[in-house]
Amino acid sequence: MTAFDASVEMRPKLVGQRIKRTEDPRLLTGSGRYVDDMDPQGLLHVALLRSDQPHARIRSIDVGEAFAVPGVVAIFDAGDIAGDFQPAIPTSRMKGYYATPFRPLAEGKVRYVGEPVVAVVAESRYAAEDALELISIDYEPLPVAVSKDDAAANGAPLLHEEAGTNVIISRTFARGDVHAAIAAAPVVVKGRFRMTRKTPMPMETRSYLAEWDRRRQALTLHSSTNIPGIICDVLGTCLDLPGNRIRVVAPDVGGSFGGKGSLNHEEMLVCVLARKLERPVKFVADRMEDLTAMSQAFDETIEAELAVDADGHLLGLKADVIGDIGAYSIYPWTGALEPVQVVSFLPGPYRMEHYRGRVRGVLTPKPPTGPYRGVGRPSSTFAMERLMDMAARKLGMDPAEIRRRNLVTAEEFPYRTGSGIIWDRSAFQECLEGACDLVDYPALVRQRDAARAEGRWVGIGFASYAELTGIGSRIAVAPGMPINTGTETASIRIDATGAVTAAFGISSHGQGLETTLAQVVADELGCRMEDIEIQHGDSALVPMGTGTYASRSAVLGGGAATKTARVVKAKVLKAAAFLMDVPAEDLEAEGGVIRARSSNATMTFREVAHAVYAQMGRIPHEQREDLVGSESYDPYLGTACASTHLAMVEIDPATFAVTVTRFAVAEDCGRIINPLIVDGQVHGAVAQGIGAALLEEVVHDDGGQLLTASLADYLVPIASTMPQIEILHVEAELPNNIGGFRGMGEGGTIGAPAAIANAVSDALAPLGIEVETLPVTPDRLFRLVQAARASASG
């Protein structure tokens, strides 16, 4: 026991501080460890011969002289591994839904260009690639319906004959009488909106390394995934292995943006082959393979109609959505993930009584659609916010004012939307006002009008949205998917030196979770942040964990960390109370020091831990407890996160290039753990949203061939083209969850496309142009302007 040190008193809480990311030193100095850095003894490499046909039956495969290539160990097609696994089935309770089986290699026929058909295993990737050149596949081409509209039509060629249809998802959400509301409304606006296909484009490509332990008959998969727990569970089922003999580890992961948040063909394949060959097997995709075959996103068409009264109040919304889900329903999320969320979130943060939204998910010969930052909400926000601006223009009303009149107010929470989503509470109105104040909106309007008087194409656009984050079990179990996404577990232990290890089922892939979770643990436990090691990305760390997705890590991970830290802290204080001969209620812990309020006597965490573990007999056996704890957290529902984005753009009338000259974000993500990291997340997400609005587009031709298989064709934003992003954090009433946290990592991709689309439409309003398709590329703008001029002159 030591005398009181005044320097430990009144330390500021770590939650809320702009602490530099603790993971950055290793990542910035090249000390990170990624899957492709791993080189175990006896390693084999896989290269894949992929389909060059969008839809064809596999007649035969001729390996030719491939085995003669030095270093080739084995060659496999689907028949060679048929008895080594069971397919993954992305189940759901949705009526009329068909779960397409998911396999490592195409079996019987191929269903998109890029689908893996033959695997060559060799001592080096070079040898495997050389052998691929000698293998030929004889295909029987089958009819294709490449567009989702053609694939949904009666008599369209079926990708999965056993399903009996290409429309494997169909749902309708309805409240009130939307047809009557539209028929009686003084103002009705409508449009046919589309966000084209995107690919996630993480810096690190998909990478997998499987190792088989012959002695234990156990498998370890090192994977660039953000869902190690989910992958572990499904592989255990597919390979018939108990949980204690399969482990999935995500080391440092160079981004995901959703693309590493599902089961991949190659992920299954390396596991099957490692067990079959009893040697480590690695697959690392090249950039073309990721552009060709990685899960993709969006590609919904939204036909929507909005009814508004003469004062700008929303009366009703009707929408018909058709989503292109690609060739497979992706595991575990199913093909419903993207299109159903479009319809669910379409009413947005607005007060509206009448709603009807119908959605269909259609199989097409393209890579499967899966998670992508924002999931469904970029498309729904784009459509809804475009309708809001179109209604405002028709009424002669300022676009900020029409939103102000319809955003749900604080007094109306909790508010149930027409699709059934419940907004618990968030700063809907305050974010709109905050964005306007941040940029001095009246002055910005004057600036725009002055530019227009000079003949320049300058516009301003808003986008207000809300999303559900930190979703708990009530919503997670509703679709009947094969996983539980509604809980998260943390385990914390203090060893004899006072060091703290906190383990989680989440998996960071760039969010700074090692820093933010350490801040939470340090505050709740009362230890020093530098004494904490955060462990994550390993299915063996906690009994049940899924991973990181859906803006859940701060809410669920932070909640689990808080609950567990409180349990462990109680054990620390109980031990300290005995050692200091004071009641536990008299003690407080902060900065690694335990202090008695009554006497100012102190002990360090290290001293207490040493007494518990190393000084046998100092604490009576019946009172001694290991300083460990493990707790799970389930927020049950989830919490709303709101934001308003404001963009100002200028269009070059000679090149039709769009420049974003101003961009502001006012967002409510609840109690902020680390403002530095939150700002970084907003910047990155807005950059991705700008890419979706202006540049990024996966294009397949009418024959199903990919036309954007390189970064010369698939364009992404670069740092030099990004505007300065102004951010305002609005902290309204905190959500009713542990910690008061809201998720926020996806918001930029949700709001930015809609705000830019509205700004471009505003810039071209004198020509009567309304943007309905994103990205709004120079080519599309040129054609819109030409059509508008032709119409005006005709």
For residue 662, what is the domain's CATH number?
Answer: 3.30.365.10
Q: Are residues 617 and 649 in the same domain?
A: no
Q: Are residues 505 and 577 in the same domain?
A: yes
Please say if the pLDDT value at position 551 is more than 70. Answer: yes
Per-residue pLDDT band for 6 (boundaries 50, 70, 90) equals very low
Q: H/E element holding 114?
A: none
Q: Are residues 249 and 215 in the same domain?
A: yes
Domain boundary among 610, 633, 656: 633
Q: Write out pLDDT tens, residues 287-343.
A: 999 999 999 999 999 999 999 999 999 999 999 999 999 999 999 999 999 999 999
Contact 637, 475 (CB under 8 A): yes
Q: Are residues 646 and 609 in the same domain?
A: no
Q: Are residues 277 and 207 in the same domain?
A: yes
Q: Are residues 241 and 97 in the same domain?
A: yes
Per-residue pLDDT band for 792 (boundaries 50, 70, 90) equals confident
Please report, for the domain that includes residue 133, its CATH number: 3.90.1170.50
Please say if the pLDDT value at position 476 is more than 90. Answer: no
Domain boundary among 271, 293, 315: 293
Bridge pairing between strands 109-110 and 281-284: unpaired
Contact 261, 225 (CB under 8 A): yes
Comparing 133-142, 191-200, 580-589, 734-743, the range with the smallest average pLDDT is 734-743
Q: What pLDDT sits at residue 3? A: 38
Query: Residue 531: which of 601, 608, 584 has the closest Cα?
Result: 608
Please say if the pLDDT value at position 7 is more than 60. Answer: no
Does 453 fall in a domain?
Answer: yes
Q: What number is the average pLDDT over the span 650-663?
A: 97
Please say if the pLDDT value at position 118 is more than 80. Answer: yes
Q: Helix or strand or coil: residue 198?
A: strand
Q: What pLDDT sits at residue 11? A: 57
Q: What number is the average pLDDT over the span 422-434?
A: 95
Q: What pLDDT sits at residue 717? A: 94
Q: What pLDDT sits at residue 721? A: 87
Does 480 fall in a domain?
Answer: no
Q: Are residues 76 and 127 in the same domain?
A: yes
Does 752 fall in a domain?
Answer: yes
Does 175 fall in a domain?
Answer: no
Q: What pLDDT sits at residue 5? A: 41
Query: Residue 199: which of 759, 760, 723, 713 has the closest Cα?
Result: 713
Please say if the pLDDT value at position 482 is more than 70. Answer: yes
Q: What pLDDT sits at residue 753? A: 98
Distance, in Å, from the CA atom of 229 to the CA atom of 250, rounded to the nearest integer, reads 10
Q: Please state, rounded to an integer, the average pLDDT across all residues of the chain.
A: 95
Q: Write out pLDDT tens, residues 230-259.
A: 999 999 999 999 999 999 999 999 999 999
Per-residue pLDDT band for 387 (boundaries 50, 70, 90) equals very high
Please say if the pLDDT value at position 80 is more than 60. Answer: yes
Q: What pLDDT sits at residue 726? A: 98
Does 169 fall in a domain?
Answer: no
Place of tokens 């949705």: 94
778 to 275, 307, 775, 788: CA distances (angstroms)? 51, 32, 9, 15
- Looking at residue 442, its amino acid is P
356 to 194, 225, 402: CA distances (angstroms)? 19, 37, 21
| Residue-wise DSSP of 411-441 | GG-SEE-TTS-EE----HHHHHHHHHHHHTH
Per-residue pLDDT band for 1 (boundaries 50, 70, 90) equals very low
Please say if the pLDDT value at position 423 is more than 70. Answer: yes
Helices 558-580 and 513-525 meet at what angle, rounded to 10?
30
Which two structure tokens, joined as six digits, stand for 358? 């119908």
Q: Are residues 596 and 607 in the same domain?
A: yes
Domain that holds residue 646: 378-390+397-470+637-793
Does 147 fall in a domain?
Answer: no
Q: What pLDDT sits at residue 4? A: 35
Peptide bond into 414 cis (omega under 30): yes
Contact 490, 631 (CB under 8 A): yes
The sign one gets for the Cα dihedral 477, 165, 343, 696 is positive
Q: Are residues 644 and 558 in the same domain?
A: no
Please say if the pLDDT value at position 793 is more than 70. Answer: yes
Please say if the pLDDT value at position 189 is more than 50. Answer: yes
Q: What number is the average pLDDT over the span 81-110?
A: 95
Distance, in Å, from the CA atom of 489 to the CA atom of 538, rounded to the nearest integer, reads 13
Contact 386, 442 (CB under 8 A): no
Q: How many domains does the chain have?
A: 3
574 to 336, 430, 475: CA distances (angstroms)? 50, 45, 38
